Amino acid sequence: MPAWGAHGLTVERGGRAALADVTLTVEPGEIVAVVGGDGAGKTTLLRALAGAIAPTSGDVAAPALERIGFMPTAAGVWRDLSVDENIAFVAAAHGLSGETLRERRAALLAGAGLEHATSRLARNLSGGMRQKLAFSLAMLHRPDLLILDEPSTGVDPVSRVDLWRMVSLAASQGAAVVMATTYLDEAERAHRVMVLDAGEILLEGAPAQVLASVPGHVVESAEPGDPGRTWRRGRRYRVWSPDEPPHGTARVADIEDAVVAAAIAKGA
């Protein structure tokens, strides 16, 4: 199976680069988490991968539309249709029917905990249930490339666990998964992480590589340092320095530390 992704992708919006020269590769069975703050370019990257927007330059390597599963930010379910009707519509669009459809429908509904809500209108579902339905719709045809735009935003912790279980299962079945998320703890569960900032790649690699590739030095301290280079974690502080390590214990505990340190380093 080939790897999917994008090479040298640039998307300009209103004279500003929403994405600048971004390259991303995702192998079958792999989960790549795209993280970054608001306006970092996560959605633009995912929409370009899905073919929903046209890049200004660069190439996208994606399977044919019928082999892509896409879950947009706004959930992408038909709110005035019931759970069953949503599934029936997407199944018909993908030409799924008979035993295959029955099996997949049952497995996805069970995984999403929606088997008792099949006749409920999507607009009456809770936020978490709606996100899980949207995921089920994106997964119904077992796509080669699964693109999820912030699937867990606004979802309760229990539903987030369910969603992650479904995402992991999709990857284990061979789908290449690219998901945008604002939850940095989630990103650590992915095989690889791409940190975007203002349309550019800040850090990229396996979570351990990302932690190791933070430029400069990060230490944990009981006292705050330079306000522009200090951030709080619980009752302690982290201080970043470009050259000489400041006083304290060297520590990049997680992706959150790595993202903040890389953002400070970029602005320094």
Partner 1 sequence: MKAMILKEFRELRRDRRTMAMLIVLPIVLLTIFGYAANFTVDTIPTRVIGPGAEQVVANAPDLFEIGEVDADATTNDALAWMRDNETEVVIDTTTQPPTAYVDGASLFTAQSASVAFARMGDQVQVDILFNPDLETSWVMVPALIGLILTFIGTIITSIGLVKERQSGTLEQLAVMPLKPADVIIGKIAPYFLLASFDMLVVTFLGVWIFDVPFEGNPWLFAVGAGIFLFVVLGIGVLISTVSQTQAQAIQLAIMLLLPQILLSGFIFPLDAMPTAIAAIGRCLPLTYFVEIAQGIFLRGAGISALWIPFAVLTGMALLVFSAAVLRFRRDLAPSAHHRAKAKAA
Q: Which residue ranges make up the site for partner 1 (CB under 8 A)?
A: 47, 50-55, 60, 64-66, 68, 70, 72-79, 90, 93-95, 137
Query: Please, what is the minimum distance in Å from the beta carbon of residue 135 to partner 1?
Result: 12
Residue 74 or 222: the one with the smaller Cβ distance to partner 1 is 74
Question: CA–CA separation, 7 vs 73, rounded Å?
Answer: 23
Query: Please, what is the minimum distance in Å from the beta carbon of residue 191 to partner 1?
Result: 24
Query: Please, what is the minimum distance in Å from the beta carbon of residue 122 to partner 1?
Result: 9
If phi > 0 it is left, if psi is from -120 to 50 it is alpha, else beta; for residue 8 that is: left
Residue 137 or 262: the one with the smaller Cβ distance to partner 1 is 137
Residue 10 or 230: the one with the smaller Cβ distance to partner 1 is 10
Query: Please, what is the minimum distance in Å from the beta carbon of residue 197 to partner 1?
Result: 25
Residue 17 or 198: the one with the smaller Cβ distance to partner 1 is 17
Question: CA–CA separation, 101 vs 107, rounded Å?
Answer: 10
Query: Please, what is the minimum distance in Å from the beta carbon of residue 99 to partner 1?
Result: 21
Question: CA–CA separation, 22 vs 70, rounded Å?
Answer: 20
Residue type, 150: E
Question: CA–CA separation, 69 vs 145, rounded Å?
Answer: 6
Residue 66 or 115: the one with the smaller Cβ distance to partner 1 is 66
Return the residue matching tokens 């990049």: 252
Query: Please, what is the minimum distance in Å from the beta carbon of residue 142 to partner 1?
Result: 13
Does an H or E element contain 266, and which?
helix 255-267
CA 6 to chain centre: 15
Residue 36 or 55: the one with the smaller Cβ distance to partner 1 is 55
152: helix, coil or strand? Answer: coil
Nearest to 19 by CA among 28, 8, 30: 8
